[in-house]
Structure 1
């Protein structure tokens, strides 16, 4: 009986100790030295985050871990599942469409930079030389497809239904004088398909990764004025004010980061105002 009593006391003490530890634990998101794991596309997002990590984060008390992704889906999936604390690869129109179609609750925190969309070709040096019945690769996700079609419309290659803007789909093309064929491809794969088509509309980050220079090699390039497609920091809804998220948002808008972007990317990536 005595042994059982002592065992019971020990078990009770262990239970109380465990409960006490649990009650005093600080949520990871609010701990100053907790690691903030951020998902990012390799170029330019991860490079910008690496600059922040190497030059600004330590002084701000931010412990940053960068996880690279080569697609536009998994960074949001893993953020929604809590495997990431934030991500940095997308613009708000894409995020809004992703939330609506996937039922996620992710929130755009702050814009950082713009990557102008461009039309590229291995066969042409002038957009006027685009032949009849040419094949043009375009991103297959809804927001970037509309953005690509608007780029072509803004440069007189096609005509879109009035007022459709960047919500355009192929059904909204009202005039296609050259009878172009549009080939929807996952955005990350388009640069690899450039040899197989006459021209391709490529997102800025993937163009840079492929060694293309948007400022000089794009046949036509998206205008930056009034452009809603600034890429920015994204978190789970409700975490916008977490201390480490606030710190990272501030650092990404620091003048040193803007100077880094301007120097490194030479107009291919443009700091958000």
Structure 2
């Protein structure tokens, strides 16, 4: 009997050691993060840093911007990291889901790209311009066109404007909203296209050097476009999730982001209460 008990004890010990060898710890926390692009070098760096803290990060990739928020709200994933505050606030409001920003990642300035023009001044009467069609990025794109002096929006319009909010369009530009992922693919068919930074990088562009006009990512007006980690509201103070956010702010991750985006994305460390305040303000906008 003693030999049997001893053998069982050895088998149990070997099982524990095998689990440790596979995951780094017998008690690893597994956190599933939804993303729309899992090939960034920063994720490999973050995974390694988290593993050293006993946290296993698994990435779940989605092809559409709405899917990671639905998956988060439904409990299929633990966090997501793909969107800015403006997009999240609009989604939460329209879909009545209780998900909130709990940590900042980067800001990626929006750019105007063209394979026909070297300067924004080269746009001609009636030229076509492609813009992303989701409410937050459409408003952002129209405000960038206004900053570039191409259109003027109606006074008093909020953040979530659309083409009906255009008051002046001196060159009668044809502004064509479309799914954000399509904006780089139509460059041959339009004079210019407003392409989100991450999508531009995936399409092979240098987000700092290739745009013919670039958003100022350092301005206060850019705060709604800071990208975030989002969680269910009940998990806003989850210690494991907050540890992942802390690790994301490390120098190792910062260097990986700079290398991956060629300096096109800027790592920001904004307090959670400020992120949530901005989120709530945007949710309250009509």
Unaligned runs of 5+ in 1: 1-30
TM-score by length of 2: 0.80
Give CA deviations for 1:118-151 in whole Å, capped at 9, x if unaligned: 1111111111111110111111110000000000
Q: Which one of the candidate residues 18, 34, 40 is aligned to 2:35?
A: 40
Is the Cα–Cα contact under 8 Å of residues 121 and 194 in structure 1 kept in the other structure? yes
* 2:216 is the counterpart of 1:220: no
Q: 1:81, CA displacement in angstroms?
A: 0.8
Aligned to 1:62: 55
Aligned to 2:259: 263
* 2:249 is the counterpart of 1:253: yes
Query: Following the alignment from structure 1 to structure 2, what is the Cα–Cα distance between the partners of residues 167 and 39?
Result: 25
Give CA deviations for 1:74-125 in whole Å, capped at 9, x if unaligned: 1111111111010000011110000111111111011110111111111111
- Output aligned runs, 1:81-92, within 5 Å: 81-92=74-85
Is the Cα–Cα contact under 8 Å of residues 30 and 57 in structure 2 kept in the other structure? yes
Is the Cα–Cα contact under 8 Å of residues 120 and 201 in structure 1 kept in the other structure? yes
Aligned to 2:44: 50
Count of matched residue positions in the alignment of Structure 1 and Structure 2: 241
Structure 1 runs of 4+ aligned residues shifted over 3 Å read none
Aligned to 1:24: none
Q: Which one of the candidate residues 111, 126, 147 is aligned to 1:133?
A: 126
Of the structure 1 ranges 98-107 and 164-173, higher mean CA displacement relative to structure 2 is found in 164-173
Q: What SS does the corresponding residue of 2:184 show, helix, strand or coil?
A: helix
Unaligned runs of 5+ in 2: 1-25, 270-286
Q: 1:61, CA displacement in angstroms?
A: 1.4
Q: Which one of the candidate residues 237, 251, 254 is aligned to 1:241?
A: 237
Q: 1:185, CA displacement in angstroms?
A: 0.5
Q: What SS does the corresponding residue of 1:211 show, helix, strand or coil?
A: coil
Aligned to 1:210: 203
> Could you say if the C-alpha distance between residues 32 and 93 of structure 1 is closer, same or farther in structure 2, counting changes exceeding 3 Å?
farther
TM-score by length of 1: 0.84
> Could you say if the C-alpha distance between residues 70 and 236 of structure 1 is closer, same or farther in structure 2, counting changes exceeding 3 Å?
same
Q: In terms of Rg, which structure is larger?
A: 1
Q: What SS does the corresponding residue of 2:54 show, helix, strand or coil?
A: coil
- Output aligned runs, 1:99-114, within 5 Å: 99-114=92-107
Give CA deviations for 1:35-65 in whole Å, capped at 9, x if unaligned: 1010112167x542222013x1111111100
Q: What SS does the corresponding residue of 2:144 show, helix, strand or coil?
A: helix
Q: What SS does the corresponding residue of 1:214 show, helix, strand or coil?
A: coil
Is the Cα–Cα contact under 8 Å of residues 109 and 240 in structure 1 kept in the other structure? yes
> Could you say if the C-alpha distance between residues 170 and 32 of structure 1 is closer, same or farther in structure 2, counting changes exceeding 3 Å?
farther
Query: Following the alignment from structure 2 to structure 1, what is the Cα–Cα distance between the partners of residues 187 and 80?
Result: 28
Aligned to 1:72: 65
Q: Which one of the candidate residues 141, 148, 151 is aligned to 1:148?
A: 141
Q: 1:254, CA displacement in angstroms?
A: 1.6
Of the structure 1 ranges 224-233 and 139-148, higher mean CA displacement relative to structure 2 is found in 224-233
- Output aligned runs, 1:115-194, within 5 Å: 115-164=108-157, 166-194=159-187
Q: 1:174, CA displacement in angstroms?
A: 1.0
